Amino acid sequence: MGHRKGKVFLQEVGPRDGLQNESRSLSPEIRAELIDALADAGLSRIQIGSFVNPRRVPQMLGTQLVWRLVNKRPETRYTALVLNEKGLDQATSENIPHIEMYVSASHTHSVKNSGTRVEKALADVTRMIGTAVANGLGVTAGVMCAFGCFYEGPVSIESVLRIIERFEENHPDEIVLADTTGMGQPQRIMKMIESVERITGIDRIGIHLHDTHGLGFANLKAALEMGVRRFDTSVGGLGGCPFIPDAEGNISTERTVQTVESLGFITGIDVKKIIRVRERLEQLLVKSLPTRKTEPDPELPAKE
């Protein structure tokens, strides 16, 4: 395998991004059980759910109860997504230690996703970052559709940088670039990281990739090459945005672990345990979860 290249941190987003796009809703009790199993598999960062209007995203109903039921491990960073002040208040009152907030780089997606144009969303989120930081919460601030929009096409690097510069006024812990529609390509990924790094430094950048067009793992490798060591993944490749047609799943946790470890990095994650969680999800959702929608990665060992 060669020499070790250091640690890659994966955040499991299946309990939120993965489940929010499914027609079947899972109970808070089952969601908490899945989160505990993911933590047991070695995932040190887990997105437990979101504080959003349950009428818009019914799969996230009961996130407060999920959090209360989770067997909280001191070595695991649990996070939740919030979209507005009400969600922030709920997360704060539940003592969620780390929150995530996003602004879309696309006006059309912003309106469909949150009912708000980009400028208003940016002003709101910048203020909320300040409130959260002042209250001692960990904060991840992200840009949706950072690499392109299903509705509007290419997104300029300048528009993404403008959002991040506003975020930086209130000093979030991390900046995430999200390929919400799966339109990212390796060269685009690398150019964006190069530009954002000048503002944030490479260590604070995370990447959220979807595999809509089969480029998720090529984009993962491009980001690794640029020095990024933080990625969002989803068990079984679950996921997608409810407000974007055909925005298929995130890059799968199990294949991401295999990919980055084949390249000499360490994740600390037990793939066999992740596969058991995937099999449990297949039973619960009554569907198969193919984790490989493209040709097998030639750098990975053959499946036994």
Q: Which domain holds residue 141?
A: 9-285
The predicted-structure confidence for 168-190, as pLDDT tens digits, reads as follows 999 999 999 999 888 999 999 99
Tokens describing residue 290: 């193919």
Contact in structure between 133 and 172 (CB atoms under 8 Å): yes
Measured distance CA(131)–CA(92) in Å, rounded: 10
pLDDT of residue 149: 85
Q: What is the pLDDT of residue 135?
A: 94
Contacts of 150 (CB under 8 A, 6+ apart): 109, 181, 183, 244, 245, 246, 247
Paired with 237 in beta bridges are none
In a domain, 250, yes or no: yes
* Total residue count of the chain as it appears in this document: 304
Does 99 map to a domain?
Answer: yes
241 is catalytic: yes
Whether the per-residue pLDDT at 225 is higher than 90: the answer is yes
Does 291 map to a domain? no
Residue 58: count of CB within 10 angstroms of its CB: 11
Residue 228 domain-assigned (yes or no): yes
User: Is residue 294 in some structural domain?
Assistant: no
Catalytic residue among 160, 241, 247, 257: 241
User: pLDDT band at residue 303, thresholds of 50, 70 and 90?
Assistant: very low
Predicted confidence at residue 299, as pLDDT, reads 43
Residue 249 lies in a domain: yes
User: pLDDT (tens digit, 9 = 90+) per residue, 243-279?
Assistant: 555 556 899 999 999 999 999 999 999 999 999 999 9
Residue 297 lies in a domain: no
pLDDT at residue 241 tops 90: no
Could you please report the per-residue DSSP string of 10-71?
Answer: EEE-IIIIIGGG-SSPPPHHHHHHHHHHHHHTT-SEEEEEEE--TTT-GGGTTHHHHHHHS-
Q: pLDDT band for position 118 (50/70/90)? A: confident
Return the higher-pLDDT residue of 22 and 225.
Answer: 225
If one counts the domains in the chain, the total is 1
For residue 4, tell me if it sits in a domain: no
Mean pLDDT (the chain) is 90
How far is the C-alpha of 198 from the C-alpha of 201, rounded, in Å? 6
- Give pLDDT, residue 300: 40
**Residue pLDDT, tens place only, 287-297:** 888 654 433 34
Q: Say what the pLDDT of residue 2 is.
A: 45
Check which CATH number belongs to the domain holding 223 and give it: 3.20.20.70
